[in-house]
Amino acid sequence: MTDRPNAARRRFIVIGIGVATVIGLWRELQPALSEPRVAPIALRSEQQPAPAGEPTFIVSFLQAVPEAPSVHASTITRLTGGDLLAAWFGGSREGAQDVAIYLARWDHSQQSWGPAKRWIDRGAATRELGREVKKLGNPVLHQDPAGRIWLYFTTVSVGGWSGSSISVKHSDDDGGTWSAARRLITTPFLNLGTLVRNSPIDIADGGVLLPCYHEFLRKYGLIVRLDRDGRLVTCYAMNSGTDALQPAIAAESDQGLVAFYRRGGRTAPRILSNRSSDGGATWTPAEPIVLPNPSSSVAVLRRHGDRGGFLLAFNPDEQRRDRLALAVTEPGGDWRVVHTFDPVPDGTESSYPTLIRGTGDEYHLTYTWGRTEIAHVRFDEAWLERLP
């Protein structure tokens, strides 16, 4: 016979443990979700003077790694002294257990990329986080105003990408040494379903607004506000029910933000966009803009100097990722496509761009080139201004 009292007791214990876990996570996150959320914040200005000069447009490729023939989702940031640091994930294929995150450094004096180094894999992530990591991906690099380098990345312990959470490491010596990884608690329900893809924005108190997205049960954008030490301050949902993923954000003013999204599978094949006028606390509904999107990541920047407007990198097709393009906003707010990059010869994808500002009026773009290499493009305002 079944020991019904013992079976009932065991079920009660299991349910109790589950409830306690959810309550514990909820209490950890509760300060971030309580009302009022935060006072308005002043976004740190990202504009720089834009000196005139000869046009710059240079394409190079980061060095391939034999043990990682498939590469994707690159990210890039500036370092002290003009060097750059890039990261991406690579392995036999996306989502495989042999995928690791790699780093490479651009030497400003040599004008070249150094060798790629294996930065963290699932084994190292498991040890540092103290929990099993099945796979990892989507790194995001960022140098804060104090010079600390942050690297956010996605880890999966349960299920597929919808079972993800975000982990973070930092370096105080330009990427020479790194802290141990730790998880960001962004949702009270077992901290599942949150991923990162695009670069954060610095804010006046030394913290950042990190654009994330949620894929567990529903798909929507999420702003995570972190303080100068990388601790969670608050979270804001950016949209609801629009199937909008991988937000890329830029500042329009001290309080104004604009976001652009990869569209999900159930929406029109257009880039989605919305705005916040209170530092990310509340957002207008996400609506399609004129530019197409084949369900692929986009990148956006506010342009250098006093020109105003935005620079956007995206796939200019409703169905395919085989081409990458740049578009700028006109004075009236309309978008104009100014350049389309040469496609990969075999017709495979050019996708997942990341854009950052360089020194002076330069920009740096990295993107996936055929899933076999990471391309790096240096260009400047002089080059943009000469485009038809």
Q: Decide if pLDDT at 39 tops 50.
A: no
Exposed/middle/buried for 386, CB within 10 Å: 0-12, 13-18, 19+? Answer: exposed
Q: How far apart are CA 88 and CA 76, in angstroms?
A: 9
Return the amino acid letter for 357.
R
Identify the H or E element spanning 362: strand 362-369
Q: Decide if pLDDT at 303 tops 80.
A: yes
* Sequential DSSP letters for 26-91: HHHHHHHHSSS-----PBPP--------S--EEEEEPPP-TT--EEEEEEEEE-GGG-EEEEEEEE
Comparing CA positions, the residue from 62, 185, 108 lying closest to residue 358 is: 108
Task: Give the residue-averaged pLDDT of 122-137.
Answer: 95
Comparing CA positions, the residue from 189, 127, 120, 119 lying closest to residue 158 is: 189
Residue 6: pLDDT band (50, 70, 90) is low
Question: Are the C-beta atoms of 326 and 338 separated by less than 8 Å?
Answer: yes
Task: Give the residue-averaged pLDDT of 23-38.
Answer: 37
Task: Give the residue-averaged pLDDT of 100-110.
Answer: 95
CA dihedral 144, 78, 237, 315 (to 10 degrees): 170
Q: Decide if pLDDT at 82 tops 60.
A: yes
Residue 291: pLDDT band (50, 70, 90) is very high
| Tokens 């023939």, residue located | 69
Exposed/middle/buried for 70, CB within 10 Å: 0-12, 13-18, 19+? Answer: middle
Q: Decide if pLDDT at 5 tops 80.
A: no
Q: Decide if pLDDT at 100 tops 80.
A: yes
Question: Are the C-beta atoms of 355 and 365 separated by less than 8 Å?
Answer: yes
Q: What is the pLDDT of residue 64?
A: 85
Residue 281: pLDDT band (50, 70, 90) is very high
Task: Give the residue-averaged pLDDT of 115-137.
Answer: 95
Q: What is the pLDDT of residue 103?
A: 97
Comparing CA positions, the residue from 211, 191, 217, 188 lying closest to residue 131 is: 191
Task: Give the residue-averaged pLDDT of 314-338.
Answer: 95
pLDDT, mean over the chain? 87
Q: How far apart are CA 161 and CA 329, in angstroms?
A: 33
Q: How far apart are CA 376 and CA 364, in angstroms?
A: 7
Q: What is the pLDDT of residue 388?
A: 81
Q: What is the pLDDT of residue 266?
A: 74
Q: Tens of pLDDT along 133-190?
A: 999 999 999 999 999 999 999 999 888 888 889 999 999 999 999 999 999 988 766 7
Out of 37-41, 67-71, 90-94, 101-105, least confident range: 37-41
Residue 119: pLDDT band (50, 70, 90) is very high
Q: Decide if pLDDT at 229 tops 90.
A: yes
Q: How far apart are CA 157 and CA 129, in angstroms?
A: 11
Task: Give the residue-averaged pLDDT of 333-343.
Answer: 95
Residue 242: pLDDT band (50, 70, 90) is confident
Token pair listed for 308:
């105003």
pTM value is 0.88
Q: Tens of pLDDT along 211-226?
A: 999 887 788 999 999 9
Task: Give the residue-averaged pLDDT of 53-68.
Answer: 91
Q: What is the pLDDT of residue 8?
A: 52
Q: How far apart are CA 378 and CA 287, in angstroms?
A: 31
End-to-end CA distance of the chain: give it in Å, rounded.
83
Dihedral (CA of 229, 27, 32, 271) sign = positive
Task: Give the residue-averaged pLDDT of 333-340.
Answer: 95
Q: Tens of pLDDT along 191-211?
A: 788 999 999 999 999 999 999
Task: Give the residue-averaged pLDDT of 114-119.
Answer: 96
Question: Are the C-beta atoms of 167 and 185 separated by less than 8 Å?
Answer: no
Q: What angle do CA 103, 350, 119 make, to 5 degrees?
A: 10
Q: Decide if pLDDT at 30 tops 50.
A: no
Fold for the domain defined by 35-386: Neuraminidase (2.120.10)
Residue 53: pLDDT band (50, 70, 90) is low
